[in-house]
Structure 1
Amino acid sequence: MSIAEEADVETLSFGPLENSVGFLLRIAQLTVYERTFAELDRRDVPIGEYTILLAIGLNPGVRQGVLADRLRIKWSNMTKLIRSLEGRGLIERLVSPRDRRAISLRLTAAGETWVEEHKALVLRAVERSVASLDEDEQKTLQSLLRKVAGWPQL
């Protein structure tokens, strides 16, 4: 290709990275997030907040640090997110009298309602983000991603 011929999105080369699992995972992650955010942002439903609220609802009393570690969120960022959700009345933080550093979390009634009201919308948006894969391909990808992430197989 001469200098006069500019590469476009379809012809831009990344050489050996094009066969790198890590590189392709990152591009796929960005693509899925972009598609999901495009659908949810219009409805003011941040997927990160929904994920945290869903996890708290399914695991009442989960410690803030455990949740941060599992979702790979820096503790300082998680603290800000939790304070925001608490300020909006969606969760409550419970401080252990034995260890004041151990913060456990529980949804409020408003938080439970918010999660339930947005569940179908979020699941639909997430599923649409990988609609180019058929059901068997999605199951295979889920299994492989769980393995890479160190999560148990279902």
Structure 2
Amino acid sequence: MDATLVRETAGDHVDLGELRDSLGFLMRLAQLQVFENYFAALGPYDMRPGEFSVLVVISRNPGIRQGVLANRLMIKRAHITKMVRGLEDQGLVARRIPDEDRRVVELTLTKKGNAFVAERIDVLTTFDRAVPEGMTRKERDQLVHLLHKFLGLTEASA
């Protein structure tokens, strides 16, 4: 199914009822639109949003514990384990189990993983900083600010 947002015209009005002001519904539609744009812009770079997010966070936090990463990115433990295994199989991530706590898995990027992120981060940043159609730069920045507030992302975690 094509998730591209089609701006409503006079002849195709759909009454959304209570959904029109539903935060969850609106965020889901926004997510679908952002992902559609993401894949259009970054598909050729072979980057899935979740996997690339994991790589970026590991690159910024070498040695991060897998559980901490999963919690911060709100990824279920079973999914993060599978994702990390896949990234490890691609030679992008290295796992380490410290001697002092054998229950923990620490993650770092390999040389190949660091190069993978470095080669693609500018494309991602350019894509993410773009102003969506129908918005001003100020409105885009305000939306990002409000999402930070909604998600509890403080200046310290920036």
Shorter-chain TM range is 0.7 to 0.9
The SS at the match of 1:130 is coil
Could you tell me how far 1:131 is from its partner in structure 2?
A: 4.8
Large movers: runs of 4+ above 3 Å: none
- What is aligned with 1:135? 137
Structure number with the bigger relative contact order (C-alpha 8 A, sep ≥ 6) is 1
Structure 2 stretches lacking a partner, 5+ long: 1-9
* Aligned twin of 2:85: 83
CA drift at 1:126 = 2.6
> Does the 8 Å contact 1:65/1:75 carry over to 2?
yes
Equivalent position of 1:3 in the other structure = none
Partner of 1:59: 61
Report the counterpart of residue 117 of structure 2 in structure 1.
115
Matching residue of 1:4: none
TM-score (norm 1): 0.86
Aligned residues: 147
- When the two chains are superposed, the root-mean-square deviation of aligned CA atoms in Å is 1.9
Return the letter of the residue paired with 2:95.
Answer: R
Contact persistence 1:60–1:107 (CA under 8 A): yes
The one-letter amino acid paired with 2:80 is M
3-state SS of 1:38 partner: helix
**Displacement, 1:130?**
2.8
Classify the secondary structure of the residue corresponding to 2:45: coil
What secondary structure sits across from 1:84 in the alignment? helix
- From 42, 45, 58, the equivalent of 2:44 is 42
Contact 1:47 1:122 in 2 (8 A): no
Mapped contact 1:40–1:47 kept (Cα < 8 A): no
